[in-house]
Structure 1
Amino acid sequence: MPRKSAKVPGGGSGRSAGDVILAPKAQYFLTSSSPQDGSSDWRTRDCSIHQIVDLGLHARNRVFRGSDVGKLRQRLIGEKLLSSHARGKRMLFKFSGGVWLGIHLGMTGKIRVESADYRPGKHDHLVLLQRERALVFTDSRQFGQVRFYHGSDEPDWWKSGAPEIISREFDRKFVDQFLDRHLKAPIKAALLIQNGFPGIGNWMADEILWRAKVLPSKRTTKLSARECTAIFRVTKFVVRRSLETLGKDFSDPPRNWLIHQKWKRDGVCPIHRTPLRHATVAGRTTAWCPRCQR
């Protein structure tokens, strides 16, 4: 079902785990190469200080489903971290020796840096220990996943993912084709599908739809050309702005964002203070403004 482009105003100017994937304090492990296309790609300054000296992991946890934990430990210890790449909620780490480690954050996953003597807590499923620090993957609900691959080229499961929202490949044609495959779904449900909108989670989906002035429960097939254009443009804006704030120092989004009102029982629209409404859409708690979104 092709859609025609329409001109709409550009996107205007809290946080829950599992929304758009952010680099794990990359300056500690990696140096940003600042690619011009906006992709999240880092390479190490000095590989000699990034050698994995030990692993801490909970081998029986479901985040390791489909992975050979024994081989992961055998192959990874002693190798050096070369680079990493983020795509939505997924992250790929490249090590020496042809070792690749993939992490999907799921709904509640987080990646953080700790001291070198850190030991895993209850929800810390993977700890990569180095001489000077440790990289920790935490996921309380275990909807995330750890994947392992050994080979000279990127694993197939990484190549097959959707393009990053801030990349040139994520264009109107891609979005329209994706939405055309989900015509019966509420638009919020479509935004949460990771092979179409990688990295978009609950709060960000609500932020996008509020800015695009689209009711979250509206079926994709009912969207107008103007609404489709607004969703595309605002999605780009929200993700890029989030990376500029959350991705650098984990600070909050600007105060005029919906997220600061979304979780409040008496939350109001940041524009004209209309009380927000709440309901469950696509199995997720959803907030919207009845005046802005119809």
Structure 2
Amino acid sequence: MPELPEVEAARLALEEHCVGKRIVRCSAAEDTKVIDGVAPSRLEAALVGRTIAAARRKGKNLWLVLDSPPSPSFQFGMAGAIYIKGVELSKYKRSAVSPTEEWPSKYSKLFVELDDGLEFSFTDKRRFAKIRLFDNPEAVPPISELGPDALCEPMQLDDFVQSFGRKNAPIKSLLLDQSFMSGIGNWMADEVLYQARIHPMQTSSKISKEKCKALHRCIKEVIEKSVEVGADSNEFPENWIFHSREKKPGKAFVDGKKIDFVTVGGRTSAYVPELQILDGADAAAANRSKKGRDKAEENVGKTSKKGQKAAPKEGGKTAQKTSVDEEEEEDDKPAKQRAKGAKAPPKKAGNTRADDHKEGGDEDEGAKPAKRGRKRPAKGPSKKEGCSSDDEDSLGKEETVVAAKRPQRKKR
């Protein structure tokens, strides 16, 4: 998800290449999920003929100030991005659009052409972004509800420490709260907590003053460095947890130390247990919780073992399948195939087996009633050497059917 550094990179590019130029053409997508609260045609009409006076940002929101209101605002969502034709911007992997794709991209939600021929586009592959039109974007939600910007309006150290002392939420949840401080998202929160050696589940009010100071410093350093390199993650320092936070558990390491994952406030958090240790009452509560989980898992394991031993069997076979995949595979088979696999009802002694004569024959033909005929004793011995009683019966049946036909025809 684009966070403060990615959105700031887009703002800087717009400021450098687009400010002072007039919009001569505009095209808004017919996507009411992204184009929010305004008809695409009205959005186009509001922009054409206007000159871009400034590009502003607060938190993860960006807007263009025109020579007269209204102004378009952009909330980047999960994968929103600004692209200027011929200008390389953020290399944020989830929002990257290949340069070989058509221009504007098929993911373009707002395309703008300027009076000097320069073109830019706001794209969104996942459609979680929002484009709105406001007379004064700063005076209305969502921008009016944001806390101080983490880059442009950093809290003073004393205010920062006091604010944490009044909050009982986990520190990771507080950093993600945009009304407390705007601009920090999931990856940045993980990074600053790792750099400050603070566990993501540590209660904010229980963090020591020394660690609060370290966190205040790390927020500043991480933001400044990521903005300095244009939000290009390839240029982030090698010792950042960022490079390994999306690897699978057990395969994620930073500086040779194992990265673990925990869910805080509904978000997956990467941290290093060896360095980020819970303090005080939080540690005791975590230990109690861990013991409770271990005991529950142990009880579940015992119950499952007992269940396996007592599993009922029917007719020498397990009563039901144990694999969901097997059930799905069975369901995927055509109805006729499933019917073939079912156990057929026993045949009466006097019936002939019509489908035994032609293997793989037509099912409809095989479903016809078997022909009945009078049994006549077969000539010769009734038993054959080396055959079981079942084989003898089946052979006998075949012989009696064949032998019975000829005498009947001769008599008639």
TM-score (norm: length of structure 1): 0.76
Q: Give the number of the structure whose residues are more often strand, by fraction.
A: 1
Identity fraction in percent = 26
Structure 1 residue 176: Cα displacement: 4.5
Name the CA distance, whole Å, in 2 between partners of 1:278 and 1:161.
28
Structure 1 residue 106: Cα displacement: 2.3
- Which residue matches 2:273? 290
Larger Rg computed on CA atoms:
2
Name the CA distance, whole Å, in 1 between partners of 2:154 and 2:203.
25
**Structure 2: where are the runs of 5+ without partners?**
88-101, 278-412
Name the CA distance, whole Å, in 2 between partners of 1:170 and 1:242.
19
* Structure 2 residue 196 is the aligned partner of structure 1 residue 225: no
Q: How many residues are paired up?
A: 257
**Amino acid of the structure 2 residue aligned with 1:53:** V
- Over residues 80-121 of structure 1, what are the superposed CA-to-partner deviations in whole Å (9 max), with x where a residue is unaligned? 111112222111211122332211212322222126993341
**Amino acid of the structure 1 residue aligned with 2:263:** T
Classify 1:167/1:97 alpha carbon distance in 2 versus 1 (closer, same or farther; 3 Å). closer
1:98 aligned counterpart, secondary structure: coil
Q: Give the number of the structure whose residues are more often helix, by fraction.
A: 2
- CA RMSD across the alignment: 2.8
Classify 1:174/1:54 alpha carbon distance in 2 versus 1 (closer, same or farther; 3 Å). farther
The question of whether the paired residues in 2 share the 8 Å contact of 1:276 and 1:287 is answered with yes
Name the CA distance, whole Å, in 2 between partners of 1:17 and 1:43.
21
The question of whether the paired residues in 1 share the 8 Å contact of 2:59 and 2:184 is answered with yes
- Which residue matches 1:170? 155
**Amino acid of the structure 2 residue aligned with 1:73:** E
**Amino acid of the structure 2 residue aligned with 1:237:** E
The question of whether the paired residues in 2 share the 8 Å contact of 1:172 and 1:232 is answered with yes
Pairing of 1:47-62 with structure 2 (within 5 A): 47=20, 50-62=21-33
From 252, 262, 267, the counterpart of 2:235: 252
- Which residue matches 1:6? none
Structure 1 residue 79: Cα displacement: 0.9
- Over residues 162-211 of structure 1, what are the superposed CA-to-partner deviations in whole Å (9 max), with x where a residue is unaligned? 3222235532355456545642x221111112222322111111100001
Structure 1 residue 143: Cα displacement: 3.1
- Over residues 34-64 of structure 1, what are the superposed CA-to-partner deviations in whole Å (9 max), with x where a residue is unaligned? xxxxxxxx983xx3xx222222222333223
Pairing of 1:255-294 with structure 2 (within 5 A): 255-265=238-248, 266-270=251-255, 273-294=256-277
Name the CA distance, whole Å, in 2 between partners of 1:62 and 1:72.
14
* Structure 2 residue 131 is the aligned partner of structure 1 residue 146: yes
From 216, 230, 237, the counterpart of 2:200: 216
Name the CA distance, whole Å, in 1 between partners of 2:64 and 2:159.
27
Classify 1:43/1:126 alpha carbon distance in 2 versus 1 (closer, same or farther; 3 Å). closer
The question of whether the paired residues in 2 share the 8 Å contact of 1:212 and 1:230 is answered with yes
Structure 1 residue 243: Cα displacement: 0.7
From 36, 41, 50, the counterpart of 1:65: 36
2:198 aligned counterpart, secondary structure: coil
Which stretch shifts more, 64-73 or 208-217?
64-73
2:221 aligned counterpart, secondary structure: helix
**Amino acid of the structure 1 residue aligned with 2:55:** S
Classify 1:242/1:115 alpha carbon distance in 2 versus 1 (closer, same or farther; 3 Å). closer
The question of whether the paired residues in 2 share the 8 Å contact of 1:57 and 1:120 is answered with no
Which stretch shifts more, 93-102 or 198-207?
93-102
